[in-house]
Structure 1
């Protein structure tokens, strides 16, 4: 064996291997990243410059600085739309969380056809919101709607529903709940199934009632999910547009005109694109502050979610 030599295999440096993986990864995510930047970040930056100008989309824009933002603070239509949006969020968010948790607890039981029931509760969420709004317009029609027909059967007075300035916003909230409760139900159901069974069994062995188990074990375990649901549903309520567009168009008498629908009217009906862009940026700032406020409050209470 004397005189024989063996050549050791050449090893690729770790740095080159890492660079090769980086290039491969960016080759996959690069096109999607360009699409996201092109369709979201670039329009957002462009909208900011539009918000500082007076522009109708056709003639050259005239720079006005922060005038559009100053006018928003004194715009009575904007203030009314903000009140409607806050009222809708105050009604919708707690109700969607409470109903979602209640339905999730009910669907977490071992009963027959449980898969069918879970599917039924989630179907309204995956259905088109525009289709839901059109269907609700027929259901709550004051003349021939199913809701008033049921009231007549029960011997109760009929209502105007979506045609009443004092009732329309509450009916919109009810329709939104019908479509969104399925989402909160699913995330609460997943969280309930992740609670360790040992904790529940130990509490029952110590003599705890169902209510005490729910209050002292289930609710604390669901707190992170509740924070997430509160943030998500707050954004959903503040940005609600499709239901309003397909049911009331902001009426009657602007009683259901929310901030998002008011921005739509400014930009696409009256062609005040600069003023509408300023209102959109103000809505973004308020939504961001509400989200940060919920997260800050949850962390103060000991819930680390984000």
Structure 2
């Protein structure tokens, strides 16, 4: 046992006494810990079961269907990996993959650049800034089906508002959604109109977290607005940019309702993406096995592109995931 001496006010030493040892909190009984764990799972268990049931079960079932030939009525017949082998030589599927990749290549960079520009504009101290921010975000909360229906009228070659404006400017009218070469870029423009609000709001939140002291220090050192933005602000936006790049990539690859309400894959299948191809094969042609195999191809493409984006940004020092 350890003894210590304590000096009094007059310099005298008191008798040695035992040193106080902090008490160790007693461990809760096992029954209490089990009861608390069961209570927690009682709250989160039902929601977890629903989420797992609505994600894992359909995924496993779709994989089993992808190895069969089934029209939804007659009994399914197991054909092994035939559906996956058939996809390699399917020109319609290969065209759908090219259209999906082209749409992603146009949509993702444009949404990031426009999102940054809009966020910088909305980060200024001006009057009615809350009204402007609301107006930018409203198109994102509007359903894509509604956006597609409105876009089909706006881009109509005969009486659309866009062509009416072109005629007033003395420019030739365009076919837009009815042209095989213009339909996919037009769909991309409509998709950007509906998604810029999301990227702008995320970038706006990130801009407000950038330390103002660093921007002021760069300005004092002689950096102009563009140099301060490029060398100070943009590095702080890299994690957000990585997140948005992955999110927008998944959004572009899974775009369906906008295509369904505008072009339905036309004209001449020029806007038929993988998702719309799966819909056509499975629910229009009733080839559920082949449609499930194409859906797994979409999953593989999505995972591959997402992994490449994350790998590239991590090599550059961005750790958002």
Scaled by the length of structure 1, the TM-score of the pair is 0.95
**1:253 correspondence with 2:275:** no
Deviation per residue, 1:114-160 (Å, 9 max, x gap)? 00000000000000100000000110111111111111111111111
Secondary structure in 2 matching 1:49: helix
Offset of 1:63 from its aligned partner? 0.8
Scaled by the length of structure 2, the TM-score of the pair is 0.90
**1:162 correspondence with 2:181:** no
Aligned equivalents of 2:184, 2:220: Cα separation in 1: 48
Change (3 A) 1:27 1:160: same
Higher RCO (C-alpha under 8 Å, 6+ residues apart): 1
Deviation per residue, 1:205-241 (Å, 9 max, x gap)? 1111111111111110000000001000000000100
Aligned equivalents of 1:14, 1:235: Cα separation in 2: 48
Task: Kindly report which structure 2 residues correspond to 1:77-226, keeping only aligned pairs within 5 A, or say none.
Answer: 77-226=92-241
Look up the match of 1:243. Answer: 258
Secondary structure in 1 matching 2:247: helix
Aligned Cα RMSD in Å? 1.1
Change (3 A) 1:211 1:12: closer
Offset of 1:18 from its aligned partner? 2.9
Offset of 1:12 from its aligned partner? 8.0
Deviation per residue, 1:11-66 (Å, 9 max, x gap)? 88254333232212111111111211222210110000000111111111111111
**1:66 correspondence with 2:81:** yes
**1:37 correspondence with 2:52:** yes
Structure 1 residue runs without a partner (length 5+): 1-10
Look up the match of 2:36. Answer: 21
User: Which of 38, 53, 69 pairs up with 2:68?
Assistant: 53
Report runs of 4+ in structure 1 exceeding 6 Å deviation. none
Aligned equivalents of 2:316, 2:201: Cα separation in 1: 24
Aligned equivalents of 2:70, 2:240: Cα separation in 1: 43
Q: Report the structure number with the largest CA radius of gyration.
A: 2
